[in-house]
Amino acid sequence: MAQLDQLYAEYSDERSIRLDKEQFMYLITLFPALRVALSDGLVDDEEWVAVKRLAKILGDEFASENLGKEKKENLMLVYKEEFRYLIKNSELWGKKFLQALKEYLKKNEAAKEFVIETMYLFAHASDGISAEENSTISKLTKELGLEDQIL
């Protein structure tokens, strides 16, 4: 997990974010889905709604009861901002995120299904799967070694 640790340190320093490693892993595992949303050159309104919904779910998931509503909302905003940043800076972080994710997926079978499902979720967020989205999913599936996850 050397690549993951290095990426976590580098990204945390660059972005000055307060996500623990588990929370950060969701940025990495959702990165392919963000690439799918961006595959046609822009993230449309329906895709952005899906991004915001995911940020809310993650905020709810990681904010425990004793942290209160404010902490949950802050975490949701952090995820939303980082998703926005990664969409705008996909080329800058893409190779590093995908290499770290590929390493992570070798030891985390359950995460493979999550990565595939979220790519398709984002692709279906607007008018079905476009040719660009389908091509991006195929490319990322191959690059991450997830061919065995496609039914």
Give the whole-angstrom CA distance, residue 19 versus residue 17.
6
Query: What end-to-end distance do the CA atoms of the chain give, in Å?
Result: 28
Q: Which residue's entry shows tokens 């799967």?
A: 129
Amino acid 103: pLDDT: 93
| Residue bearing the bigger pLDDT, 62 or 116 | 116
What are the extents of the domains in the chain?
Answer: 2-14+29-145
pLDDT tens per residue, range 81-130: 999 999 999 999 999 999 999 999 998 988 999 999 999 988 888 777 88
Question: Could you tell me the pTM of the whole model?
Answer: 0.86
pLDDT reported for residue 128: 79
pLDDT at position 8, please? Answer: 95
pLDDT over 80 (residue 1): no
Q: pLDDT per residue over 27-39, tens digit each?
A: 999 999 999 988 8
